[in-house]
Structure 1
Amino acid sequence: MRAIPLTVTALAAALALTACGSGGGSGTNSKNGSACEIGTVSVQVGSASVAPATGDTGEVPVSITNQSAPCTLDGFPGVTLKAGGASVTVATQSGAKTGKLKLAKGDSATFSVSYVRGKDGDKASFAATSMTVSLPGGDATQSFPWKYGAVAGKGSAEKVDATVSTFQQAGD
C-alpha cells in the first residue's frame, strides 16, 4: 500500500516542477529568458507605404531590435487594431510559416502589416486609431498611432482586410 502514496507524491512533485517557470502565452518560455519580450527589445514602426485611396493596399513595417541577452522569436507577432473601445486582431498571412529566429544583443528582425484601405465613415471599414504589437511567448504589448486611414472590412468592420507577416532577420 505504500507504493500508491509515493507514486502520488512523485507525480505531484513532477507537476509542480513542470509548472515552475511557465511563461504563459504561446511560443518559447519567457520566464527562463529565452523568449524576446517587449521591454527587452525596442519596437519601432518604420516609414509606411500608405494606401492612398479606398481599395489600395498599404504596408506598415515594424522592426524589433534586441537590447538585452540573446532571445528567440518563436511564432507570429500579434497585432491588434483599435478604435475607441473596439479592437480587431489582424490575422497572419495565409500560408505563412514561422520558425525560431534567434536574436543576439543588437540583432534585429522585421515583420509587416499589409492592409487594404477602407472608405472613411463606411460601416464596413474599421477606423483604426492605434495598433498594438505583442511578441510570441509574452503578454506585454506596445501601442503605436495608426495614421494610415480606415482599414477595409471583409464583409464587416469586425474582420479587417489586413494581415501580419512572419518575422524576417534584418541586417546582415
Structure 2
Amino acid sequence: MRAIPLTVTALTAALLLTACNNGTSGGKGKSGSACELGKVSVQIGTASVAPAAGDTGEVPVSITNQSAPCTLDGFAGVELKAGGTSAKVPALQGAKAQKLKLAKGDFASFTISYVRGKAGDATSLEAKSVKITLPGSGTAMSFPWSYGPVAGKGGASTPNASVSAFQQAGD
C-alpha cells in the first residue's frame, strides 16, 4: 500500500516543478512567454518635452502585441546613448512592476521621465538615441532622442531619469 502515497507524492512534486516555469526561458512558443521585440510593435509617443535646463519631461512608450499572447514581467530596460557614452535609466524609485499578459492586439505603455540638462555641461548626457529592451528578452530597439540633454546625478553616466512600470491600456 506504500506505492500509492509515493506515486501521489511524485506526481505532486512534478506538478509543482512544472508550475515554477513561468515561460520566461525556453518556452518561446507557449502562451504567456515573455514579449519579444519583433513580435510586438514599439512606438514613442508625443513627449512632454522639458523646455529648459532643470525642467522635467516625460516620454511615453507604447507596446502593442502583434503575435501570440505574451507577458511583460518587470520593467523595460532603457539606455540613453551619446556617441560612445551610454547610461542605463533606472526604474522609478518606489515603483512596483506588475505582471501583464497581452493578447494579440493588446497594448501597454511606460514612461521615461527625465530632467533636462544644460547643453555643453560635463554633468549632462547629450543623448542622441534611446535603446529599449523588454523584460525577459535580450533583443533591443533604438530610437532617436530629440528631447535635449539629460541632466546627470553627479555625472553624465548617471542620468537624472527614470522608467515607470508598465500600465495596461484598454477596457
TM over 0.5: yes
Question: Deviation at 1:171?
Answer: 2.2
**Residues 89, 155 of structure 1: alpha-carbon distance in 2 compared, 3 angstrom cutoff:** same
Letter in 2 for 1:81: L
Look up the match of 1:4: none
Letter in 2 for 1:167: F
5+ residue gaps, structure 1, are: 1-17
SS at match of 2:58: strand
Task: Find runs of 4+ consecutive structure 1 residues off by over 4 angstroms.
Answer: none
Identical counterparts, % of pairs: 65
How many pairs align?
A: 148
Aligned-pair Cα RMSD in Å: 1.5
TM-score computed with the length of structure 1 as normaliser: 0.83
**Residues 28, 155 of structure 1: alpha-carbon distance in 2 compared, 3 angstrom cutoff:** farther
Distance 1:110 1:131 in 2: 16
Is the Cα contact below 8 Å between 1:73 and 1:136 reproduced in 2?
A: yes
Question: Deviation at 1:31?
Answer: 3.5
Question: Deviation at 1:150?
Answer: 0.2
Look up the match of 1:153: 152
Distance 2:27 2:140 in 1: 19
SS at match of 2:34: coil
Between 1:55-64 and 1:30-39, the stretch displaced more is 30-39
Look up the match of 1:116: 115
Question: Deviation at 1:64?
Answer: 0.1
Look up the match of 2:61: 62
Look up the match of 2:38: 39
Look up the match of 2:7: none
Is the Cα contact below 8 Å between 1:37 and 1:140 reproduced in 2?
A: yes
SS at match of 1:92: coil
- 1:84-127 CA deviation, whole Å, 9 max, x = no partner? 01100001000011121000000000000000000000001000
Distance 2:45 2:77 in 1: 17
**Residues 163, 67 of structure 1: alpha-carbon distance in 2 compared, 3 angstrom cutoff:** same
- 1:38-62 CA deviation, whole Å, 9 max, x = no partner? 0100000000000000000000000
Question: Deviation at 1:28?
Answer: 5.1
Look up the match of 2:75: 76
5+ residue gaps, structure 2, are: 1-16
Distance 1:48 1:147 in 2: 10
Letter in 1 for 2:145: W
Look up the match of 2:98: 99
Distance 2:158 2:47 in 1: 22
**Residues 48, 93 of structure 1: alpha-carbon distance in 2 compared, 3 angstrom cutoff:** same
Letter in 1 for 2:59: V
TM-score computed with the length of structure 2 as normaliser: 0.83
